Amino acid sequence: MTLRERTHPDLAEVLQARLRANRDAERAAEDERPVEGLEAQVVTLQAAVAKAEALSKQRQDEAEVAVRRVGALKAHIATREAAVAEAEALSRRLQQEAESAVKHSEVRIATLMTAVANGEALDKQRQREAETAAKRIGELEAQIVTLKAAVAKAEALGKQREHDANAAAKQNDELVAELFKVTSELVEMSKRLAEQTAATDKARTELDDHRSRSWWWEHGVG
């Protein structure tokens, strides 16, 4: 079967039926119409056949163009289907990658949230430690101020004690000097008193001796 027959299977049958009808008509009218009319009819039929062949050729060309167009469309559709399949595969892969990225992001976010929570807890702990340290520093500063005041007071008291000690030492030195002076005077007075006592004793002895001699003189003379 030719392409023409595949494309227009009814056209040949129509022409054959028309030719058979014309032949039957010609046979029926052979005795009634003249030869010139037959020739004109033949010419008309030939023109109709030529027109039908031209139309068939046109339809055949159009059918071939349509077949090529269908082939091109099928190739285009196949290309589009391949592109769609590739796009679907790419979409599935991207979806899987997106789901994996979402899971990874969720894990990362959970890790970050844990880190943030730990950081906040550590920050609170550091804040409490800083507050405790600040409080301790305040207490130490107060103690330092107290100790400085005590040191200043101790230094002032030490200076006062040193001044008092120096004054006492000076007074002691003066008292020792005075005592030494008094002692020296007492020693001198003791010496003078001893001398006076010795002189008195000597005078008393001389007086007693004189009295004794005087008595002897008085009694001897008598």
Rounded to an integer, the average pLDDT of 110-121 is 84
For the chain, the average pLDDT equals: 77
In SS3 terms, the chain reads as CCHHHHHCHHHHHHHHHHHHHHHHHHHHHCCCCCHHHHHHHHHHHHHHHHHHHHHHHHHHHHHHHHHHHHHHHHHHHHHHHHHHHHHHHHHHHHHHHHHHHHHHHHHHHHHHHHHHHHHHHHHHHHHHHHHHHHHHHHHHHHHHHHHHHHHHHHHHHHHHHHHHHHHHHHHHHHHHHHHHHHHHHHHHHHHHHHHHHHHHHHHHHHHHHHHHHHHHHHHHHC
What does the pLDDT read at residue 218?
A: 61
Whether pLDDT at 15 is above 80: no
Q: What ranges do the domains of the chain cover?
A: 3-100
What's the pLDDT tens digit per position in 17-64?
Answer: 767 776 666 666 555 555 556 667 777 777 877 887 888 788 888 888
Whole-model pTM: value is 0.32
